[in-house]
């Protein structure tokens, strides 16, 4: 007798489960459909805080906010940031001032922890919302964040 | 000689096979050396080290702020709770009191993490037992939580939102609304989960009476989390040693006494309801306050030992820091729930079928990077 009741129970629970999936099959709305990812690149927008990669914004005159204080380099847990800097004599005051030559960022080593951006006193580096970072050659993942010929904005002190 | 006598004369030999390191039911690089006789398991010997990254050693190199992001990579399904464990330990050492706002936000995100982790576990448990549909349903709902995390923390899995002294930045303006939307949505989905899998007779037959873990064994092997609570061992750190805002919310510790795979399953399913209720109690009145207590740029813990434990989705995570007063810790030790839970596996899967071992392992909810670290 339990043989037949087992079969009955088995079929009953099978139909219960199928009523859920069948319900979705009939009532499938637009929201329930998977994103068509590579085809929706134009409309796909990441959240503002999304950690894509570290970038250094420059203004229209090719000026940035980085004073070369190296706080980001110290904060980075795995050495993804290297700063090559020099002391340059200010022609007006005659004082020596730190200035960056290259702000090197190794995207391949970056764990996207966000400690460098937290540490930056002048908000010179920010997160970009890129999400397609794959390249064919890993040397392309070593980026120089300051643009050629750029300099620090006047009046930015760390 | 009759057939029966001939069968008795056949000698069987034990042999061993590897389950893993690449096995779909192991959810990671866990290698189990099975000694089997036919299809009956005689011995299970876990072989670890395939994803060892020496996180504890790396912690000795890093400053206290930098340790936090490494713990993301241990139990990646409860990364926020791991981060919180380190931050609580450092805050204990520095004797900082974080604001109520930080405590409440941390608790809400903890519980969201727990729901996300249990969702993944539920989907994967169904998949291990041959029900693929559960996987899609669970991931659909987990996606909403991941969106909440992405909007507020900036990342979906390795969030690194906690810093010693508070939070990296305040919650996103949409956080409260999105969380409420999710809770309203998820409350209608848990009954659906039950219809799909919990009430299924085939699922009962696969899980009831399989992999029975007694309360005494659970205690003596140091098992924690839902696995221990499925055996009736009350071990919830949130209840017994409340941290963050858990002392101001009202929730039940789920206990089942059967100790089998189905009991462990039910504990997690009931915990989903408890997590939802905790979030509902906190989400409407997040107190105002600062999100980060003032700390020095270089944190130096005083000389001594500090220990803090938290309840992750898998069980009790303990963080031990031994400091000599420098900016780096002298020794960091993580007591991870997965490692202790794995130690019981051989004990409870003797003389069972291989298929039952898969069911047992699914109910243990192993995350291998948590075991290896």
CATH number, domain of B284, equals 1.10.645.10
Please enumerate, as own/partner, the contacts of A15-19 that have beta carbons within 8 Å and a separation of 24 or more: A16/B195, A16/B199, A16/B200, A17/B133, A17/B195, A17/B196, A17/B197, A17/B200, A19/B195
Domain-embedded: residue B179:
yes
Distance from CA of B275 to the nearest CA of A (A): 24
How far apart CA A11 and CA A25 sit, in angstroms, is 20
Query: Which DSSP state fits B246?
Result: G
Domain-embedded: residue B17:
no
How far apart CA B117 and CA A138 sit, in angstroms, is 33
Q: What is the pLDDT of residue A136?
A: 92
CB distance A114–B201 less than 8 Å?
Answer: no
CB distance A20–B153 less than 8 Å?
Answer: no
Q: Which of B 207-226 lie inside 8 A of A, CB atoms?
A: none
Distance from CA of A123 to the nearest CA of B (A): 14
Distance from CA of B64 to the nearest CA of A (A): 10
CB distance A51–B154 less than 8 Å?
Answer: yes
Helices B261-283 and B100-128 pack at an angle, to 10 degrees, of 150
Instruction: For residue range B76-128, list pLDDT tens digits in order.
Output: 888 889 999 999 999 888 888 888 889 899 999 999 999 999 999 998 888 88
CB-count burial class (<10 Å; 0-12, 13-18, 19+) for B222: middle
- Provide the ipTM: 0.82
Residue ranges with strand state E in B89-210: 162-163, 166-167
Distance from CA of B352 to the nearest CA of A (A): 23
Residue A146's contacts (CB-CB under 8 Å, 6 or more residues apart) are A56, A58, A64, A66, A100, A102, A103
Half-sphere exposure of residue B91, counting CA atoms within 13 Å on the CB side? 26
How far apart CA B36 and CA B210 sit, in angstroms, is 18
CB distance B199–A113 less than 8 Å?
Answer: no
Percent over 90 (pLDDT), chain A: 1
A22 touches chain B (CB under 8 A): no
Closest residue to B150, CB basis, from A9, A21, A50 = A50
Domain-embedded: residue B27:
no
Q: Find the mean pLDDT for residues A120-142.
A: 88
| Token pair belonging to B163 | 């810093």
Q: What is the pLDDT of residue A30?
A: 60
Residue B94's contacts (CB-CB under 8 Å, 6 or more residues apart) are B164, B165, B295, B299, B301
Helices B261-283 and B354-364 pack at an angle, to 10 degrees, of 20
Instruction: For residue range B350-359, list pLDDT tens digits in order.
Output: 888 888 888 8
A144 φ/ψ angles, rounded to the nearest 5 degrees: -105, 115
Decide: B77 and B120 in contact? Cβ < 8 Å.
yes
Domain-embedded: residue B131:
yes
Instruction: For residue range B31-77, list pLDDT tens digits in order.
Output: 888 888 888 888 888 888 888 888 889 888 888 888 888 888 888 88
Domain-embedded: residue B49:
no
* Residues spanned by the domain of B299: 54-372
The candidate with the shortest Cα–Cα distance to B339, out of B221, B245, B248, is B221
B163 touches chain A (CB under 8 A): yes
The candidate with the shortest Cα–Cα distance to B363, out of B206, B222, B234, is B206
How far apart CA B8 and CA B142 sit, in angstroms, is 53
A23 touches chain B (CB under 8 A): no
| Token pair belonging to B84 | 């919180």
Domain-embedded: residue B31:
no
CB distance B155–A112 less than 8 Å?
Answer: yes
Domain-embedded: residue B135:
yes
Chain B residues near residue A113 by CB distance under 8 angstroms: 66, 68-69, 158, 160
Task: Using the predicted structure, report yes or no on whether residue A94 has a pLDDT greater than 80.
Answer: no
Distance set, CA B271 to CA A3, A126, B81, B111, B138 (Å): 35, 39, 16, 10, 15
Task: Using the predicted structure, report yes or no on whether residue B136 has a pLDDT greater than 70.
Answer: yes
CB distance B158–A17 less than 8 Å?
Answer: no
Q: How many domains does chain B have?
A: 1
Mutate to test the interface with B, among A50, A113, A128 (most CBs of B within 10 A): A113
B160 touches chain A (CB under 8 A): yes
Closest residue to B199, CB basis, from A13, A46, A119 = A13
Decide: A115 and A75 in contact? Cβ < 8 Å.
yes
Q: What value, to the nearest 5°, has the Cα angle with vertex B127 and ends B126 and B132? A: 100
3 state SS of B305: strand
How far apart CA B180 and CA A50 sit, in angstroms, is 22
Task: Using the predicted structure, report yes or no on whether residue A33 has a pLDDT greater than 70.
Answer: no
- Residue B12: pLDDT band (50, 70, 90) is confident
Domain-embedded: residue B188:
yes
CB distance A77–B154 less than 8 Å?
Answer: no
A121 touches chain B (CB under 8 A): no
CA-only gyration radius of chain B, Å: 22
Q: What is the pLDDT of residue B320?
A: 92
Closest residue to A77, CB basis, from B66, B151, B192 = B66
Residue B306's contacts (CB-CB under 8 Å, 6 or more residues apart) are B89, B90, B92, B93, B320, B321, B323
Q: What is the pLDDT of residue A37?
A: 84
Instruction: For residue range B257-314, list pLDDT tens digits in order.
Output: 888 889 999 999 999 999 999 998 888 888 888 888 878 878 888 888 999 999 998 8
Task: Using the predicted structure, report yes or no on whether residue A70 has a pLDDT greater than 60.
Answer: yes
Strands A151-152 vs A63-64: parallel, antiparallel or unpaired = parallel
Chain A residues near residue B199 by CB distance under 8 angstroms: 13, 16
């Amino acid at each position: 007798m339990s043989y037949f009741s087992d079969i009955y129970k088995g079929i009953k629970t099978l139909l219960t489960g199928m009523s859920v999936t069948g319900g979705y099959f009939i009532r499938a709305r637009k929201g329930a459909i998977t994103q068509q990812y590579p085809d929706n690149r134009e409309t796909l927008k990441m959240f503002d805080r999304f950690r894509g990669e570290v970038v250094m914004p420059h203004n229209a005159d090719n000026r940035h906010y980085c004073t070369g204080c190296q706080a980001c380099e110290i904060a980075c847990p795995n050495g993804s940031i290297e700063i090559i800097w020099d002391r340059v004599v200010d022609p007006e005051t005659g004082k020596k001032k730190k200035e960056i030559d290259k702000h090197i960022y190794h995207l391949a080593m970056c764990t996207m922890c966000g400690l460098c951006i937290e540490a930056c006193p002048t908000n010179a580096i920010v997160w970009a919302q890129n999400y397609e970072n794959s390249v064919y050659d890993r040397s392309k993942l070593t980026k120089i964040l300051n643009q050629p010929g750029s300099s620090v904005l006047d009046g930015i002190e760390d | 000689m009759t057939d029966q006598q001939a069968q008795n004369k056949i000698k069987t030999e034990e042999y061993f096979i590897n389950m893993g390191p690449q096995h779909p039911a192991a959810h990671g690089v866990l290698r189990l050396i099975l000694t089997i006789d036919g299809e009956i398991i005689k011995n299970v010997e876990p072989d670890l080290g395939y994803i060892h990254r020496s996180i504890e050693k790396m912690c000795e190199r890093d400053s206290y702020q930098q340790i936090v992001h490494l713990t993301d990579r241990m139990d990646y399904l409860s990364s926020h709770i791991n981060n919180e464990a380190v931050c609580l330990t450092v805050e204990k050492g520095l004797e900082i009191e974080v604001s109520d706002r930080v405590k409440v936000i941390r608790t809400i995100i903890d519980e969201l993490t727990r729901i996300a982790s249990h969702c993944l576990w539920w989907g994967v448990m169904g998949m291990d037992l041959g029900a693929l549909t559960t996987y899609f349903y669970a991931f659909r709902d987990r996606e909403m939580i991941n969106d909440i995390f992405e909007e507020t923390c900036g990342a979906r899995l390795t969030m690194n939102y906690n810093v010693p002294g508070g939070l990296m930045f305040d919650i996103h303006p949409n956080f409260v609304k999105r969380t409420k939307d999710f809770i309203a949505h998820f409350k209608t989905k848990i009954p659906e989960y039950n219809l799909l899998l919990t009430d299924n007779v085939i699922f009962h037959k696969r899980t009831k009476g399989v992999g029975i873990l007694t309360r005494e064994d659970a205690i003596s092997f140091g098992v924690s989390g839902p696995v221990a609570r499925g055996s009736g061992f009350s071990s919830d750190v949130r209840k017994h040693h409340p941290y963050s805002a858990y002392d101001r919310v009202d929730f039940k510790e789920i206990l089942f006494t059967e100790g089998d795979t189905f009991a462990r399953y039910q504990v997690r399913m009931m915990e989903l309801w408890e997590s939802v209720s905790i979030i509902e109690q906190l989400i409407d009145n997040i107190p105002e306050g600062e999100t980060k207590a003032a700390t020095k740029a270089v944190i130096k813990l005083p000389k001594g030992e500090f220990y803090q434990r938290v309840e992750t989705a898998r069980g009790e995570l303990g963080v031990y820091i031994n400091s000599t007063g420098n900016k780096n810790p002298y020794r960091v030790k993580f007591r991870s729930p997965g490692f202790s839970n794995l130690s019981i596996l051989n004990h409870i899967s003797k003389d069972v079928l291989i298929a039952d071992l898969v069911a047992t392992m699914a109910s243990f909810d192993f995350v291998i990077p948590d075991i290896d670290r």
